[in-house]
Structures are given as C-alpha cells and as structure tokens.
Chain A
Amino acid sequence: MSGEKPILAISNLHVGIEGTEILKGIDITIPSGEIHAIMGRNGSGKTTAANVIMGHPSYDIEDGDVQLSGESILDLEPWERSRSGVFLSFQYPQAVPGLQVGNFLRKSVSSVRGDDAAKGAAFREDLKNAMSKLNIPSSFLSRYVNDGFSGGEKKRFEILQMMLLKPRLAVLDETDSGLDIDGIRTVAEGINEVVRGTENGALIITHYSRILEHVQPDRIHVMIGGKIVASGGPGLASLLEENGYDWLEERVAEGDVFE
C-alpha cells in the first residue's frame, strides 16, 4: 500500500515518568491493514508505550512523535484519541462499581461513534452478536464494569468493547494473558475481523506465541530496556519462545537482523 499513510507511526519516542526515562527512542510503523506484535521482558516498557499511544496523562513525552494516519496525536486528550479511532485493551482493566455494563457500552459507543450508532435495533443486534461470539452471557449487561469479573472475563470484555467501538487502531496489551484456549482463538478472530482486509491496524503486546499463531502478525518487534532491539517476521515469536531473551540479545550483539 505504498503512498498511503501508515495507520500508526511511532518515531524516536522518548518517554519518562517521574524523572526516569522508560522508553529510550522507539520506532514502529504499522501500515494500514497490518497487525504487528511487541514482545519483551517484564518491565521493558510495553505497557508504557501502549499508555502513551492512548494518552495517559502521567507520562512525559521527552522526544519523538506518535502519528495516526499521518497526524500527530500527542496533543489530543485520551477521549479525543478514542474518538479518532484509537483503542486500548488494558493489561489491567479497571473496575467501576455501580456502572452497568449495558449502560456503559451504549454511552461509549455513543461517545466514540456518535449517538446514532448507539441507538435502535442495529446496535442491539451488534451487541448481541459480539457477545455471543465472545461467549459473554447477556446477564453481564446488568453487572458493573469489571467489578468482580474473573481475569478472563475482563479480557473478553475488553474485546467486546473493541468490537463495538470499531477502532482504526487497536492496541492490545496482554489481552491473551489469563484467557483460556478458546478465549485466545476468539480474541484472535476478533482482531483479524477488525483489521484484515481493512485500512485499520492493530498492535498486539504479548508474552506468548500462541495468539500470534492465530493472528499471523505481519511483524514482530522485540522490546528490551525501553528499546526495540529486533524486528522480524512471524517466525521470530517461536524462535524467541524457544531460546529466550538472553539468546536474542547475544544474536543482536553479533549483528543478526531477523528479517
């Protein structure tokens, strides 16, 4: 798709929090219609990158840019980014006691996609289909957002929101952790549905190759110590899973490029 603006372009991104630099110059470009993945050690900065894309107010952007379809989004508030089509599936979704799931979904769809999208039979149909695909019983509509949800239920609920909000760019932060085998397959199908054959894009943060087998990402980026140390094709995931990060770091030090 040459000539088109990539859905996401992160360039030379330096990010700190409370005086500590966490991201030390990151570059990731996701062309329209592609799915990329980030793998990396615990604490390497993956969630930081996801939060910064969504606009978490606690981080200091020290340098670099984040662009959505060629436009910088760094000056936008989180809700403006959401309304522009950015979605984040949280590693740790937050509970909001007393806020009913059904209500919340309707309000969110209305905020992000406009009032009309949240009204009438079309919305109800959409909701019903998405819930049955994700195996979420309809009783969840009257429960409170993430309140008392099991780990896997929280992750399914994140994907339900993704399917209803129909983002242009979906960032999924360890959505597969805590999901059972069927859950992982369903989530993968959801991501494929949202991205494949469209102008959209997705960034999947994960520790495991299983979800990537279903999704077949176009590229995998490996993050260590706040930097992308390697990027490569889908094969990189299983190589990494077999050999570990130390091995990868050695290969990189020896000048290997994982194309």
Chain B
Amino acid sequence: MSQPSEAREAVGDYKAGWHDPENSTIRFDFGLSEQVVRDISELKSEPEWMTEMRLKAYRHFVDRPMPNWGNTEILEDIDFDNVCYFLRSSDQTGESWEDVPEDIRNTFERLGIPEAEQKWLSGVTAQYESETVYHSIREDLEKQGVIFLDMDSGLREYEDIVKRYFGTVIPFSDNKFSALNTAVWSGGSFIYVPKGVSVEMPVQAYFRINAKNMGQFERTLIIADEGSSIHYVEGCTAPTYSTDSLHSAVVELIALPGAHIRYTTVQNWSNNVYNLVTKRGVAHEDSKIEWVDGNIGSKLTMKYPAVILKGEGSHAEVISVAYAGAGQHQDAGAKVHHLASNTTSNILSKSISKDGGRGSYRGMAKIMPKAENCRMNIVCDALILDEGSRSDTYPTMEVGNASAHCEHEASVSKVGDEQLFYLMSRGHTEAEALGMIVNGFFEPFTKELPMEYAVELNKLMALEMEGSIG
C-alpha cells in the first residue's frame, strides 16, 4: 500500500491521511432531520417498509440518550448538526476500475486495493463516502450463486432476503448508534453464500471517508447458508482533518447450521474519526462465527463484536486488538451470549496504550440457565508503553448454569528495560526494539490476518514506535 512521499509528509505519521478534492454529485446540507432520512430513502427509491423502518429508527435515535458508559465526555462532544449525512461521489458503481472517477481510483490504488484484488481476493467492494464506487466478484463464485453486492443493490435486487433478515440481529432499538445507522444507512455489503458453498479466498470491502465532517453509515448483512463458509475482510481509512468525522456502522451476521463466517477488520482511522460501531452475529447449530478485529486510530472507538450462540454446538471466537496513541480512546471488547447447550467461546483482547492514549476492554459474557456444558475462555492483556497512558478492564460474566467451564485471565504489563536492552544488543535501535515487542504482543492477532494485512500492520506499528523516540 504505497503512496507518494509528498502525501506522507503532508499528514505526518498517519500514512492514509491525504484527501482528494471533493467532486460530489449529490451532497446533503449538514444536520439530521426527518426530511434528511426521507430524502436518503427517496434518492435510493426504496420500498416503503424500509422508509418506515428508517423513520422509526430516527425517532428512536432522537429520544434515546447517549450511552452513560464508555467515554461520555468525548461522546457528548459529537455535534450531530455538523455532520454531512449523505454524499454521493460517483453516479455509478464501477464494474471495472476504469469506470471509477480518476481521483477516487487513484486513492484506492494508493491504498493498494486493485493490487490486492488481483492477488488474493474473491471479490471487492470499495466504498467512498456514502456509496460503493467499485464492485467485483469472481465469476465462478457468481455461478455458484454467491451474492456479494453493496447493501443498496442488495435491497434492490434481493428485497425478500433483505426484508427477512435486516435488523433481526441488531434491531434499531439496540442502542443510540444502531438507531442512527438504521435511519441513515447507505452502502455496506450484502452477502449471501448458498448451502454448502465454500468461498476459499476472502472477499474484501474497503471503506474510505474523504470529505470533512463526513458521516459514514454503512450497513452490512452476511448470511451464510447451511454448511457454507466465507471470510470477509474490511479495511477503513480517512484523511486527517482538524474537524471530526463520524463512522457508525452496523454489521449483522447470520451463520446457519454448520456454516462458518470469519469477519476480519483492520481499521486505521485518522485521529479525528468517531468510530461507533455495532457488530453482532447469530450462530445456529454447529456453526462458527469469528470476529478478528483490529482497531488502530480514531478519536474514540466503541465497539464490542458480539456473538449470540443460539444453536447447539455453535462456537464463537473474538480476537481483538486496539492501539491507543495520543488523544485516543479505544473502548473495545467482546460480547458472547451462550443460549444453547454445548456451545463454546474464546475471547482474546489485547490493547496497547502509548503517549497518553487510553485502552479499555469491556466484555460481557453470559451463559443462560438452560445452556448445559458450555465453555468460555476470556483473556485480556494490556501493554502500557509509558507513564501517562492508561488501560482499564470492565469484564462482566454471568454464568447461569453450574455445568459451565469458564476461565478468565487478565494481565497488564509494561515494556521492561532489560527486554529492550536485550534486543538493542542485537543491533536494533530503541524504536525497532519497541516495534518488535509491540508487534510480538499483537502477534496472536496478526497471525490470523491475511499475510498482506499482517505485513501492513507490522509496518504501521513499527512506524508508530518511530514517532515517539528519536
């Protein structure tokens, strides 16, 4: 994911912080109202039930107070009137990169997306501001009946499936930001994998915010039918601005019996983005849902990927890492509810805080009284790199059935002088040594990533370590 050096100089250490001139074809005025919600729906010529759902969600959003946990101080700073809720930058979704407007195409090229597409992906969607500007899927998958579309097209072309599942995993009333997303959602991915189909190579969605004060509200729905499997990868970046942007997505996963969904996120938002995302999957019998969730950047992230283990023998895996640098708060974690017997879950959460950054683990793990023989294992590790940085854990466990096996471990560590000296004595500068320790700490996460992402993440963290020393 290379880019010209002038762009890097312009934005300091954050490599993806450049922005393009805005060439929008439709741009809404700042602020949110019932009319804005209606306008979005009308623009997309949506069916009536969707317009209605949006409006209900909007009213709920207005009435619903801000969460009174997380970082309430930063949350209260969000100025909902100073956000652009819809911005169209291309009148069509390109099927080839040639069809994508040049500026936008260049941006995705700098981010390495077309290259990745050729090398190791089954399909790609690229979203720029509110909508998808590029979309592709490998022909053989299409022939097998795999649907991989942006959410707007999904609703147009497969209304019955969308109507059946949309909002069933995360109702708009779930929280203030799921209400906001349901009211103004635009873009995101819609995926259906038919029975028994395994999508071998991952599909990827890339989300790019370009404009100032932008709100991005993508909506993703993935349905893996019986015995199927898919790996979905998402990446996100935004330019560095002095004013804030808002990213508030909703992601719903449905793993039908025997299916396997892995959802990998590597987000690297600039420091002016509020990232308030609701992600949840429902796992039916003998299915498996995995969240592999990497949170780098943003001003405040509040995100707790969740799995509802609804079917017997289902399994949840949540691996998340967060890096909180100067002025950042990463409030991340996981949620698992064991509703059925013989269900298992593993949660691994790792956070690094540096330069006054704050990392929090917030977890909720529940075993319902009727669920027999469940196993859950939670590990959270924090690494604090300097004095002013901070790490907290807020684990909640509710175990309603005595047959459960639960384990919980938490650790907080600091980088030791002896460890640094050891690495320095092998020819590594202090920053390189710190980079090795930090990347080692993240390794249980990194090793789960597609190789290209792992390499990028390691470089990114090494660069972060350079920034502080020297």
Contacts and interface: CB of A to CB of B under 8 A. Distances in A.
Interface in B415-470: 416-419, 421-430, 432, 436-437, 439-444
Nearest to A99: B440
Given A78-B425, A111-B427, A98 B440 contact: yes
A94 B422 contact: yes
Nearest to B424: A78
Most buried by B among A90, A92, A99: A99
A79 interface: yes
B86 to A, nearest CB: 43
A63 interface: no
B417 A58 contact: yes
A93 interface: yes
Contacts of B444: 98
A112 B427 contact: yes
A57 B426 CA distance: 15
A159 B33 CA distance: 69
B425 A93 contact: no
A50 B107 CA distance: 52
B421 A57 contact: yes
B463 to A, nearest CB: 16
A82 B425 contact: yes
A33 B430 CA distance: 32
Given A78-B421, A93-B422, A94-B422, A99 B436 contact: yes
Please classify the interface of chain A as helix (H, G, I), strand (E, B), loop, or mixed, using the class held by over half of its residues: mixed
Interface residues of A, number: 33
Contact of B437 (A51, A57, A81, A96): A96
Contacts of A111: 426-428, 432
A144 interface: yes
Given A79-B429, A111-B432, A144-B440, A96 B419 contact: yes
A98 B423 CA distance: 14
B380 to A, nearest CB: 15
A112 B424 CA distance: 11
Contacts of B425: 54-55, 78-79, 81-82, 87-88, 90
A161 interface: yes
Contact of B428 (A54, A79, A93): A79
B418 A94 contact: yes
Nearest to A100: B443
A98 to B, nearest CB: 3
A196 interface: no
Contacts of B439: 98-99
Given A96-B436, A98-B442, A99-B437, A108 B428 contact: yes
Given A57-B417, A98-B442, A98-B444, A77 B436 contact: no
A248 to B, nearest CB: 31
A234 B418 CA distance: 33
A165 B426 contact: yes
A99 B426 CA distance: 14
Most buried by A among B419, B428, B444: B428
A114 to B, nearest CB: 10
A104 interface: yes
Nearest to B440: A98
Interface of A: 51, 54-58, 77-79, 81-83, 87-88, 90, 92-100, 104, 107-108, 111-112, 144-145, 161, 165
7 closest cross-chain pairs (CB), A and B: A98-B440, A98-B443, A111-B427, A112-B427, A94-B422, A99-B440, A78-B424
17 contacts: A54-B425, A78-B424, A78-B425, A79-B429, A79-B432, A82-B426, A82-B427, A88-B425, A90-B422, A94-B421, A94-B422, A94-B423, A96-B419, A97-B440, A112-B427, A144-B443, A165-B427
